[in-house]
Each structure stands twice: as structure tokens, then as C-alpha cells.
Chain A
């Protein structure tokens, strides 16, 4: 019983870490790839074109 509870708690904390990592990655992608700020657009310009993300 104790083992099962321990293992459930571990799975839950793993899941939280996984969701956090995915959220972090998507935030980075959104800012670098999609955000429309002029400064960001200008600095990321060539790379956005290179990976085929909508740019202009």
C-alpha cells in the first residue's frame, strides 16, 4: 500500500515536470517564432524564414 502511494506521488510529480518542460518549450517557440514585436521580428527574421514560420 505504502509502495503504491509512493509510486503514485512520483508519477504525479513526473507529470508536473513533463508539463512544465513542454510549456517552457512552447513559450520559447511562441516568443522566438510567432510574437509580432518589431524588434523580435527583425532579430529573428532570417531564422523565421529558414524554418518556414509566417514572418511578414
Chain B
């Protein structure tokens, strides 16, 4: 059992991590680098809009991209261990796992780990103003837990009581609300931040769907 769990999580996490690393480097890193030009003051977006922008462009730093790829794989292997463990547990309880249902497992993981937290704390660029880090991390971990339990209670619940409790648990973090800064005033243009948030959520959706399908595929293969 343990060997199958470890192998399927490693394979699924690594494969999904490679997909996410490629998408992150192509779609997200250029926006991070541009934001850093504003964070360090090389570019400024307030003031005279007719003034010519200095012709500064951020270049890819491939050593830095290497670290990003390494951490994409590490983080998705972490996600994969949790995903495969929960799939194995569900299977023990009589839930049938298929590669096709892996899409739904992936979407559920995406909702728990990225979409629900993003409702209170949208993905941020460097140079944005945010509340104190520890408070945000506590809200985020609480939201991940509540969303996971809420979705499980709705999906595997058998009556209105289970479904109702699931909905309430899903809503709790958003009723409490995420910690927000007392004032705004970041250095990053809002247009850039909005583009980053949208892209980050899209890349996350692709990564998690891939992770769900690959986890189911490797789990079924290791257990054949």
C-alpha cells in the first residue's frame, strides 16, 4: 500500500509539476519580473501618463527559472501525496476511482487550495500592499481545510443535513473574511495585478486538473 501511494504520488506530482513549471515560466514569471521593475522604482505608473516610459524590459533569468521549476515539482508532489492519500481513503470506503473522475478530484483540489483562498486573498505580485503575513497564512490554511471538508460533505453526504452542513462550512471563511491591509498604495499597476491574478488562477486550474487525472491514472496503474 505505502509503496503504491509513494510511487503514484511521485509520478503524478512530477508530471503535473512539469506542466505547471512550463506554464508558470511562460505566463506568470514575465509579469512577476515586470512587477519587480515597479517594486524597485525602475518603472513608475503614477503621475504624468503622457510622459514616455523608459524602455526597460525584464529578461528571463534561467537560474531563477530553474528554481521555479524545482519548486513547481516539489509543491505539486506535495499536492499529489495529499491527493493520492485522499483517493486511497475514498477507495477504502467504497468510492470507485477512475481517470475520468480524476478531473473532478482535480477540480475539488483546485477549489480548496487555490480558488477559495483567492476569493479573500487574490494571487499577489511583489510590491503589493497586504495584511500581516501570519494572519493571512492562518486564514488561508483555515480556508483550505474548510473548503476540503465542505466539498467532501456535499459530495459524499447522503442527506440534506450533510449537504447543509457542507454549505455552511464552505461559507464560514468568507463570512469571517480574509485579513486585509488598512490602506492601499502598492507600487504595481492594477492592470498588471489583475492580469496576474487571472493567469495564476487559470494556470492553477490546468495544473490541478492534470494532477487529478494523473493521480488517478498512476494510482490505478500501481494497484493493477
Report A's interface with B, CB cutoff 8 A.
11, 13-15, 17-22, 24-29, 32-34, 36, 43-44, 46-56
Contacts and interface: CB of A to CB of B under 8 A. Distances in A.
Given A43-B70, A47-B72, A55-B124, 8 more contacts: A21-B6, A29-B82, A46-B71, A49-B28, A50-B68, A51-B114, A54-B133, A54-B140
Chain B contact surface mostly: helix
Interface in B137-170: 137, 140-141
Nearest to A20: B2
A36 B204 CA distance: 23
Interface string B89-105: 10010000000000000
Contacts of A24: 81
Interface of B: 1-2, 5-6, 9, 20, 24, 28-29, 32, 64, 67-68, 70-72, 74-75, 77-86, 88-89, 92, 113-114, 117-118, 121-126, 130, 133, 136-137, 140-141, 200-201, 203-204
A2 to B, nearest CB: 21
Contact of A14 (B6, B20, B92, B125): B92
Contacts of A17: 1-2, 5, 88
Contacts of A14: 1, 88, 92
Contact of A43 (B28, B67, B84, B125): B67
Contacts of B114: 51-52
Nearest to B137: A54
B89 A47 contact: no
A40 B90 CA distance: 34
Chain A contact surface mostly: helix
Contacts of A43: 67, 70-71
Given A28-B78, A32-B74, A47-B68, A18 B32 contact: no
A54 to B, nearest CB: 4
A43 B64 CA distance: 8
B118 A52 contact: yes
A53 B81 contact: no
B125 A49 contact: yes
